[in-house]
A and B are shown apart, each in its own frame.
Chain A
Amino acid sequence: MSLAEATPVVRRTALNAVHRQMGAKMVEFNGWDMPVEYPASIGCGIVAEHMAVRTGVGIFDVSHMGDIRLAGREALSAVQHISMNDASRLEIGQAQYSALLYPQGTFVDDVIVHRLGEDEYFLVINAGTREKDFSWVRDNTRQFDCKVEHLSDDFTQIAIQGPKGVDVLQKLTDADLRAVKFYWVTRGTVCGLKNILMGRTGYTAEDGFEIYIPPDEETSARVWYEILAAGKEFGIVPCGLGARNTLRLEGKLPLYGHEISDTINVWEAGLDRFCKMEKPEFIGRAALEKAGAEGVKKTLVGLEVVDRGIARDGYKVLDVGGREIGYVTSGSPAPFLKKNIALAYVPPAQAAIGNTLLIEIRGQGVKAKVVPTPFYKRPKKA
């Protein structure tokens, strides 16, 4: 047995002391000291947390995520220039999944773009790419009449995820949450805090909300515990990054540095439907047009391990003859599906559903087959 060495503490969210108090196992993630899972003694652990979100409700501290606000007369033009989705389609209060691209058509980051006002946009970005993203957005929007602000440290962000998430948050706010559609936002009083932004968004492939509250420790802790108390009747549990990863993997939601990166383009990642080539101009468009005409050399597929074994990030993918043809970007046991699943880049010729491939696990070729994705899709409400 070798247990992971403790890594040096880097940055802490306002809820850090709360996580420690609750007995969370802490890990370093992208420069942040974050909970990976909470203890079995309070009904947690990655599997229990994952199942709670699929069947009930869980809460996550996602304050490490970053935020950028663009506001001003030309804010829409600026957003259109730096992101691949079509922000002109957004009504006030609506959000969309999008990405910031390099001129090569590869990823600076993936983002959620929210339209908060007539000329006001709010981008939620990844923790590990905060500074890079902000510099990139600022540098590439200088020609527009629009103010760019880095608001990452202005909020504690809490995600309330799962089919019961709406019921829990509804107990704590005067806003009518049932009227808020998926990927829309609203504002209201939450736990006595006025004008709180609440988005029906998340990273779990489940229904739920993400709320943005003041970043001081006292308020953050108070809201965290009030949500837990309100969710008690629904079996709410606190969830760490471990469950966040397995939940997003079942839903095939990309993770920066894994499925998307500065060396992977939009077509390879299969994010075509969020990339609006009918937009006349955005950074990366020209390269994508060329890449689209040439065709991709690798494509992202879902794999299910057929033999005994667990695929992990970085493992090699082989064809049935044992020749190396690709690699796993994310692999894990899937707690809800009770299968060992993976996302991997392979040549298009090997990407057909049902195709058998091998994953190299400790020197052995373990059989896996290409399956449709997402692995998990939440049931539609009647």
Chain B
Amino acid sequence: MTYPTDRKYTKEHEWITADGAIGITHHAQESLGDIVFVELPKVGTEITAGKPFGTVESVKAVSDLFAPVSGTVTAVNEDLATAPEKVNKDAHGAWTIKIKVKDPAELNALLSAADYEKFVSEEAAH
């Protein structure tokens, strides 16, 4: 898997683009398996870096979505309410929420695509 370089990644397996779209990584969707439920906050909600902002559920398990950076929700991908499997099919296209990033400097602290790939391969080696 080649991870797109137009965005940043977290060790919690999320990605965020420069304009504030947030999703989960290909590796995350693969680990979770069939995604059947996505629960997201409403537009206007404040989210805080490192804190849960939503939930994604596979057949087997419930996982929190963690905010890569702080900000305010400006859009929610309503498609995922009825078609959560889109996250499996195209994890890097299926954004969950868009936020107005509070402090763009927070983005610089996140992982590049290359760093994230390295992180995933190291994790797999454990």
Contact = CB atoms under 8 A, between A and B. Distances in A.
B59 A312 contact: no
Given A1-B65, A2-B66, A36 B60 contact: yes
A333 B88 contact: no
A157 interface: no
Interface in B1-46: 10, 12-14, 24-25, 28, 30-34, 36-37, 39
Interface stretch (A39-47, A93-101, A320-328, A369-377): A39-47
Contact of A333 (B31, B59, B65): B59
B33 A1 contact: no
B33 A3 contact: no
A25 B60 CA distance: 12
A113 B28 CA distance: 43
Contact of A46 (B10, B31, B57, B59): B59
Contacts of B77: none
Nearest to B31: A3
Contacts of A3: 13, 28, 31-32, 63
B102 to A, nearest CB: 21
B34 A46 contact: yes
Contacts of B126: 6
Contacts of B12: 1-2
A335 interface: yes
A314 to B, nearest CB: 11
B48 to A, nearest CB: 16
A9 to B, nearest CB: 12
For the complex of A and B, 6 pairs with smallest distance between CB atoms: A1-B13, A46-B59, A47-B34, A1-B12, A333-B36, A1-B28
A37 B88 CA distance: 15
A200 B113 CA distance: 51
A332 B64 contact: no
Contact of B59 (A1, A25, A40, A332): A332
Contacts of B30: 39-40
Contact of A2 (B33, B36, B59, B64): B64
Contact of A45 (B33, B56, B64): B33
A39 B61 CA distance: 17
Nearest to A338: B36
Nearest to A37: B33
A120 to B, nearest CB: 39
24 contacts: A1-B12, A1-B14, A1-B25, A1-B64, A1-B66, A2-B63, A2-B64, A4-B61, A36-B33, A37-B60, A39-B30, A40-B88, A45-B34, A46-B58, A47-B59, A242-B33, A242-B59, A308-B37, A308-B81, A310-B37, A310-B57, A312-B62, A333-B36, A335-B59
What interface size band does chain B fall in?
20 to 34
Interface string A14-53: 0000000000010000000000110110000111000000
Contacts of B88: 40
A47 B36 CA distance: 10
Given A6-B126, A40-B88, A362-B55, A1 B34 contact: no
Nearest to B81: A308
A192 to B, nearest CB: 36
A246 interface: yes
Nearest to B55: A362
Contacts of A332: 59-60
A332 B32 CA distance: 14
B24 A46 contact: no
Contacts of B25: 1
Contacts of A47: 34, 59
A36 B32 CA distance: 11
Contacts of B33: 25, 36-37, 45-46, 242
Given A1-B66, A46-B33, A246 B59 contact: yes
B64 to A, nearest CB: 6
A36 B60 CA distance: 9
Contacts of B56: 1
Given A6-B126, A37-B33, A242-B33, A46 B13 contact: no
A46 B33 CA distance: 7
Max chain A C-beta neighbours (<10 A), residue from B12, B57, B59, B65: B59
A60 to B, nearest CB: 16
B33 to A, nearest CB: 6
A46 B37 contact: no
A25 B27 CA distance: 13
Contacts of B57: 310
B3 to A, nearest CB: 14
Contacts of A36: 33, 60
Contacts of B14: 1
Contacts of B31: 3, 25
